[in-house]
């Protein structure tokens, strides 16, 4: 499995942030099903102030440019994405018109040697 990490900003408005949080308490079932059908096994979004951090796991052969298109082609998911984008803004320094900006992994505990006591 591969892990992906991305970041995004929310609009700096406490009422909108609260609405975004409520929307994610139980996302639309079609959206969850489409994410799983695209190959995403686990997904979590964390919030600090206005900064979002999303991480998800997918099979080793997962290619976001290819496999995410199945999700993006679903009309209900398109509706969800339009609604979510009303809360969101790309992070400063986002390049190439990206919305969710990929993050580089700089540390992975699993890659470190284990010591025996």
DSSP string, 49-110: TTEEEEEEEE-TT--HHHHHHHHHT-HHHHHHHHHHHTTEEPPTT--TT-SSEE------GG
| Chain length of the chain | 117
The mean pLDDT of the chain is 93
Domain ranges (residues) in the chain: 2-91
Predicted pLDDT of residue 26: 94
pLDDT digits (tens, 9 = 90+) for 35-48: 999 999 999 999 99
Predicted pLDDT of residue 96: 74
Pick from 12, 10, 86, 93: nearest CA to 45: 10
Enter the pTM of the model.
0.87
DSSP, collapsed to helix, strand or coil, labels residue 31 as helix
Answer yes or no: is pLDDT of 55 > 90.
yes
Pick from 57, 60, 70, 55: nearest CA to 100: 55
CATH number of 2-91: 3.30.70.1090
pLDDT digits (tens, 9 = 90+) for 71-111: 999 999 999 999 999 999 989 888 877 789 989 999 999 89
């Amino acid at each position: 499995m591969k892990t992906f990490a991305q970041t995004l900003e929310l609009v700096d408005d406490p009422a909108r942030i609260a609405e975004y949080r409520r929307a994610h308490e139980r996302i639309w079932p079609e959206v969850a099903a489409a994410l799983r059908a695209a190959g995403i096994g686990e997904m979590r979004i964390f919030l600090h102030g206005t900064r979002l951090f999303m991480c998800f796991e997918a099979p080793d052969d997962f290619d976001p440019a290819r496999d995410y298109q199945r999700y993006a082609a679903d009309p209900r998911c398109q509706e969800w994405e339009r609604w979510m984008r009303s809360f969101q803004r790309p992070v400063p320094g986002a390049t190439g018109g990206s919305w969710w900006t990929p993050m580089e992994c700089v540390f992975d505990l699993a890659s470190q040697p284990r010591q025996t006591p």
